[in-house]
Amino acid sequence: MFSFPSLGCDGSAKIVMFVHFAGHTGSWAEAYPEIVTCANTFWWPAGSKLGDRLASEPGTGHLNPLNPKTYQVIKNVIDDVATMFPEPFYHAGADEIIPGCWKADPSVQTFLENNGTLSQLLEVFVNSTFPYLVSLNRTVVYWEDVLLDAEIKVKPSLLPPENTILQTWNNGPNNTKKIVSSGYRAIVSSSDVYYLDCGHGNFIGNNSMYDLLPGSDPGKGGSWCGPFKTWQTIYNYDITYGLTDEEAKLVLGGEVALWSEQADSTVLDPRIWPRASAMAETLWSGNRDETGMKRYAEATDRLNEWRHRMVTRGVGAEPIQPLWCIRNPGMCNTVHPF
């Protein structure tokens, strides 16, 4: 569960709550084990192929679309969240549905033996939840997987664009293009730019990918979305790259993401700030001056000042330059192109 803020017309921050379903729901089995498939099992059994794993990472469990009680529980959760967060959006997840987890359940096995498919199973789930969310006057936000996943996805006809927003995290501008060219509004969270947890290795233990000879290329250092996303990388990104003017109008904005596998309260501030501020500037006022040049020098000065304001207010934002550079404006810039 996480939330992301958006800025309302009155200048206040709006919180949109995200409650994962149908995937990433192993924790639901603590209260309702009967509605969760493959809960509390080893995520990648020995001797099996990657495609047969039960989860994208340790922590297994998917909600079972064939169990009527699943929807009783979900609707109670939706009602609670909609009451606490009255904004007109509801983020319903639907990413990283792993075939092996659903296939591990006997009722799903019977469904598949009767010529059903996993995509049809996801459609059962969406058909049982999406209309209810719309009935609450909510626009439903899904991760892009619900339409773009290579294996398990629903037909676009089930998700009318007027009621649906898709959040993209794969394949950079290519997936953004796919979403908006199909008439959907998009939120851009491209993992190759906007994932703030990247570049810190991998939390999987007993991992042979680190067994390298000295001098070997470490690649991404074990981080699937490495390397680390610098503020310059974030500042440089154009979320409407390659889009027509009409398509660009469907891009609502962007969101940086900090997933918590290797982040907790002890590192929260420096992982987020001031990199999130770099994204904020580009989305509010662009990253180019009136001549079309990138404003890296100006942005550096602004972020330095902003970072120190945050620190004085108790926010542990990481520095982007040595203090000497801040005390000697312009002396740490370069006048030579690299």
Q: Which residues are catalytic?
A: 96
Nearest to 66 by CA among 18, 30, 111, 20: 111
Residues 87 and 16 sit within 8 Å (Cβ to Cβ):
yes
Q: How distant, in Å, are the alpha carbons of 150, 216, 230, 235, 262 from that of 274?
A: 35, 33, 10, 11, 19
Phi, psi of 208 (to 5 degrees): -75, -5
**Amino acid residing at 140:** V
H/E stretch holding 2 reads strand 2-7
Q: In what order do the strands lie in the sheet with 2-7?
A: 2-7, 13-18, 89-91, 139-143, 164-168, 185-188, 251-254
d(CA 60, CA 29): 10
| Host H or E run for residue 101 | helix 99-103
Rounded to a whole number, what is the distance in angstroms from the first to the last CA of the chain? 42
Angle between helical axes of 275-285 and 296-312 (0-180°, round to 10): 130
Nearest of 94, 218, 111 to residue 149 by alpha carbon: 94
